[in-house]
Amino acid sequence: MRFLTRSLLALFLAAISVGALGYAGYTMVSAIQSRGDAPDGPGQGRERVFTVRVMTVAPDEVTPILSAFGEVRTRRSLELRAPVGGRVLEVAEGFEDGAEVAEGQLLFRIDPADAESALAMARSDLTRAEAELRDATRALELAAEDVASAQAQFDLRERALARRTDLAQRGVSTEAALEEAELALASARQSLVGRRQAEAQAEARLDQAQTALDRQQITLAEAERRLADTRVYASFDGTLADIDIVEGRFVNTNEQLGRIIDPQALEVAVRVSTAQYLRLLDDIGNIRGTEAEVALEVAGYEITSPGRLVRASATVEQGQSGRRLFVDLLAPRGFRPGDFVTVRLQEPALSNVALLPATAVNAAGNVLAVGDDERLEAVPVTILRRQGENVIIEAQALAGREIVREIGPMLGSGIRVRPQRETATGEVITDEPEMVTLDAERRARLIAQVEGNTRMPEPVRARMLAQLAEDEVPASMVERLEGGG
């Protein structure tokens, strides 16, 4: 029984092997016959045609966009420093980083005790200086009266001497009386000189008192200013930053305690190459007030603001190259000092140029133009600008010609292509397929070829048989079948 079972199993396996060999032989013979039925004969290859996206070059006026990176900075800021040293008595509510402050708002107050004492001492010294000035003024007035009195006595003695001299000449007066009059005049002159010296000293004392009063007034003004400096106010509307102050803390004179930044007065400092800088100059060498766009990318979302190029740095920093430009932000909403942004500047417009995708130009600086019988032709071009994924080229020599949008590794000069054209909105323009009418013999031969092709999937075979049954058949399909495809 076991022997019979093994024999039947061996016969079954042998039958399966013979059937498989037979089916393989039938498949090989059918393939050879199908290849032999082709008009070109077996082993004949056909040229490969690539489908490419093309575009028509149209010379136009293009405004190049210069892209560079820069940093946002403020044009108006104020350092908050302690004008005087002392203990912080009061800090304004909400005095912290990022808080908004208004012009004239009290920010913090330092203990004014020392400043008040100094002010009181200055006022006391001023009162004393004023009293000294009054005394000096009165002393000068008295000295002037003494001089006037001495001058009157001198005049009287001088007239008495003149009378004595006249009497002596007439022989009425004696020599002794004349000498007495001369001595009285000399004494009066000496007294007048002494009074004038006293008047000069009084004038000097008045000048010193006036100078001392002026100095005390300056000291008083300084003491009042130091007292006023114990209260710090905001000079303009802005935002607080870098705050480092708390109530009760002792601060030193001129110690920085924070900053106020004007968020509406922002600009971007951007560095460009010297060649790019030269393209932004006008005919006389001044910076053009060109329009700009400033963009900040945040988590995939871009914040933009219009801007304007206003100036360039006067010097080149040591170890740097190129030029540093400054762009004013016209709508700074959302931007903050320190942001790293992209700046797009408009250069002067170029004429007779074309804006092409960067993929349309190969490494050798050529584009592939579609020539006669739809074969590619390498044409050298001059690249004027590279901006992002596009390039600007001189387009006069390529005006009206179709070029390949994306040059792949399989494309080159002499390659035959099938152009795929697009509309302005990017929609593909599909050409209607060329149709041919078949005679009965040719139609029958093609139907037999499709039915005899065992390698063809059944859905494809059914679709091709349906197309061959129509009055007009696509020429491409007929060409592919007759070419052995």
Residue 314 has pLDDT above 80, yes or no: yes
163 inside domain? yes
Whose structure tokens read 């060498």?
285
Residue 441 covered by a domain? no
pLDDT in tens, 110-165: 988 888 898 899 999 999 988 988 988 898 888 888 888 888 888 887 887 777 77
Which domain does 404 fall in, by range?
A: 53-63+350-410
pLDDT digits (tens, 9 = 90+) for 330-378: 888 888 888 999 999 988 888 889 988 888 888 888 898 888 778 888 8
The residue from 346, 366, 383 where one domain ends is 346
Domain assignment present for residue 416? The answer is no
The two tokens of residue 459 are 């859905």
Do 339 and 378 belong together in one domain? no
- pTM as predicted: 0.59
pLDDT of residue 462: 83
Q: In the chain, what is the straight-line distance between the N-terminal and C-terminal CA atoms, in Å? A: 56
Give me the pLDDT at residue 328, please: 92
Residues 367 and 326 in one domain: no
Per-residue pLDDT tens digits for 235-257: 888 888 888 888 888 889 888 88
Which residues 6+ apart lie within 8 Å of 379 measured at CB? 366, 367, 368, 369, 397, 398, 401, 403
The size of the chain, in residues, is 485
**Residue 41 — pLDDT band, cuts 50, 70, 90?**
very low
Mean pLDDT computed over every residue of the chain: 83
Examine residue 204 and state whether it is found in any structural domain, yes or no: yes
In a domain, 248, yes or no: no
What average pLDDT score do residues 411-433 get? 68
Secondary element (H or E) of residue 96: none
pLDDT given for residue 388 in this prediction:
80
**Residue 40: which pLDDT band, with cuts at 50, 70 and 90?**
very low
- Please give the residue that has the higher pLDDT: either 467 or 130: 130
pLDDT > 50? residue 43: no
Cβ proximity of 381 and 394 under 8 Å: yes
The residue to which tokens 């001595």 are assigned: 183
| Residue 188: inside a domain | yes
Does the pLDDT at position 63 exceed 50? yes
Q: Note the pLDDT tens digit of each residue in 179-209.
A: 777 787 788 888 888 888 888 888 888 889 8
Q: 233 with 90: CB under 8 angstroms?
A: no
- Residue 218's pLDDT is what? 92
Average the pLDDT over 171-181 and give the result.
72
Instruction: Report the CATH number that the domain containing residue 149 is assigned in CATH.
Output: 1.10.287.620
**Are 277 and 314 in the same domain?**
yes
pLDDT (0 to 100) of residue 426: 47
Task: Tell whether 303 and 329 lie within a shared domain.
Answer: yes
Q: What pLDDT score was predicted for residue 275? A: 87
Residue 255 lies in a domain: no
CA distances from 138 to 134, 361, 455 (A): 6, 101, 135
Confidence of residue 45 (pLDDT cuts 50, 70, 90): low
**Do 128 and 177 belong together in one domain?**
yes
- pLDDT the model gives residue 270: 92
* Residue 433 reports pLDDT greater than 80: no
Regarding whether 190 and 133 lie in a shared domain, the answer is yes
Q: Decide if 444 is inside a domain.
A: no
Asked whether residue 431 carries a pLDDT value surpassing 60, the answer given is no
Lowest-confidence pick of 44-58, 110-124, 165-179 = 165-179
355: CATH: 2.40.420.20
Q: What is the pLDDT of residue 294?
A: 92
pLDDT beyond 90 at 263:
no
The residues, any chain, with a CB within 8 Å of residue 88's CB and separated by 6 or more, are: 108, 109, 110, 111, 245, 246, 247, 248, 249, 250, 251
Look up the CATH number of the domain holding residue 331.
2.40.30.170
Q: Are 350 and 387 in contact (CB under 8 A)?
A: no
As a whole number of Å, the CA-based R_g of the chain is: 54
**Cα–Cα separations (whole angstroms), residue 96 to 159, 291, 306, 315, 481:** 89, 37, 31, 37, 82
Phi-psi region of 43 (alpha: psi -120 to 50; beta: other; left: phi over 0): left
Separation of alpha carbons 321 and 460, rounded Å: 65
pLDDT in tens, 65-99: 888 899 999 988 888 888 888 898 888 888 888 88
SS3 194: helix
Would you state the pLDDT for residue 34? 58
Task: Report the number of secondary-structure helices (H) and strands (E) in the chain.
Answer: 7, 26
Q: How many domains does the chain have?
A: 3
Calculate what percentage of the chain has a pLDDT beyond 70: 91
For residues 363-397, one letter each, b for 16 or more C-beta atoms within 10 angstroms of the residue's C-beta and e for the rest, the string is eeebbbbbeeeeebbbbebeeebebeeebbbebee
Asked whether residue 366 falls in the same domain as residue 282, the answer is: no
- pLDDT value at residue 3: 64
